[in-house]
Chains A and B, each alone.
Chain A
Amino acid sequence: MPSNPKSAASLAEEAKMATCKHALDCSMYSQFGRSGLLDIWKQKYCNGKYEDCVRYQLTLIGEPVSPAMLPNGKMLR
């Protein structure tokens, strides 16, 4: 596990390559950068089947998306 902290610039570079085109602006994707533990979310959704992500689905139809909403539709805490 890399221990050197990533900068916002390198996070942005990663986000640009994500399969989901909204990753750059997604507050949840941003949170997933906090810890290697959270990579599993990115594998399943952001770099995987982003169409399954509830945040993505809501954004498509223009609905506001809470910064606390996870890709599975549940709220944090």
Chain B
Amino acid sequence: MKVGVALGVVGVVFGVVLGNIGFGSWEQVHRMFTLRDPRLILTFAGAVALLIPVYWLLRRRLSKARPRTTWRTVIGAVLFGVGWALTGACPSIVLVTLGGGSVPAIAVLLGVVAGVLAYQRVQKRWLPDDSAACDS
């Protein structure tokens, strides 16, 4: 119960942060991708820079498995990049946009769900994946 509540709070804060820095706006994301406005990239880079020392300090408690870079990594990222550029959204952002009242975000969310479900089927039938760490 406590974990559930805490997770919910983290989720809400995450949504607020994403929304308030502009990741929820297609236009802002597009401005980032067309190199007109560095704000969002700086936000992202700054967050990573802050996390590097944190995760280094936590390294003993985090998974020590080192997943391999494979064709999946690259092809998956290519598909993801196209999808993100087209919709301005990713799995986290689409929920933020939808929460703000965007009706078109429903179409994007349905797409994300369809994509995740499609991958489940593909992984099971054709692409069993040995490269990832055993997550569960």
Contacts and interface: CB of A to CB of B under 8 A. Distances in A.
B102 interface: no
Interface residues of B, number: 15
Chain A interface secondary structure, helix, strand, loop or mixed? helix
B120 A62 contact: yes
A12 B64 contact: yes
B48 to A, nearest CB: 23
Interface residues of A, number: 21
Chain B interface secondary structure, helix, strand, loop or mixed? loop
Contacts, number: 42
Nearest to B124: A61
27 contacts: A8-B60, A9-B60, A12-B64, A15-B64, A16-B64, A21-B65, A21-B130, A22-B133, A22-B134, A24-B63, A24-B64, A24-B133, A25-B133, A25-B135, A27-B136, A55-B134, A56-B134, A59-B132, A59-B135, A59-B136, A60-B129, A60-B130, A61-B123, A61-B128, A62-B129, A66-B136, A67-B136
